[in-house]
Amino acid sequence: MRLAPALLASLCALGLPAAAQEPGLARPNLVLREVVEGMPRGERQEVQVMTATIRPGDRTPFHTHRFPVTVYVLEGAFTLEMEGREPVTVRAGQAMVEPPGVRMTGYNRSADAPLRVLIVYVTEPGMPFLDPVH
């Protein structure tokens, strides 16, 4: 996956002040910057980019993740309940990082509005996205 480092370098270059001043150049909008623990440390990692639609009133299974998960809300509001922590609600245009090893479930608390999210997960190759908790 050689394109990912080149793409990342290009996006970083676009964020420099000099690039931002030149007309006609695209510039990324920083939504979230967070230092996280628990990322895979092997020689290779797998990047998974997913979307999910959660109908009004629906929830995700009760689960954990092996590595941090970034969630960006495209539409609606996402409420995450994590064991031992206060619930967190993230709205359209906002993002959050779900920590690894924490039992959690996500909700669309709306009675009538759909929830659409973009999910980015960096993991060791071949690892599952989530581990269900029974």
Q: Is 4 in the same domain as 49?
A: no
User: pLDDT tens digits for 42-79?
Assistant: 999 999 999 999 999 999 999 999 999 999 999 999 99
User: Does residue 71 share a domain with residue 23?
Assistant: no
40-68-94 Cα angle (round to 5):
140
Residues 48 and 88 in one domain: yes
Q: Which residue has the tokens 């539409």?
A: 75
- The range of the structural domain enclosing residue 47 comes to 35-132
Q: What is the pLDDT of residue 23?
A: 85
| Amino acid residing at 44 | R
Residues 60 and 87 in one domain: yes
Do 19 and 76 have their domain in common?
no
Inter-CA distances, 16 with 4, 9, 10, 21, 27, Å: 19, 11, 10, 9, 9
- In this structure, of 1-10, 34-43, 74-83, 98-107, the range with the lowest mean pLDDT score is 1-10
| Tokens, residue 78 | 């996402």
Secondary element (H or E) of residue 47: strand 46-54
Same domain, 40 and 1: no
pLDDT in tens, 82-121: 999 999 999 999 999 999 999 999 999 999 999 999 999 9
The verdict on 112 and 126 lying in the same domain is: yes
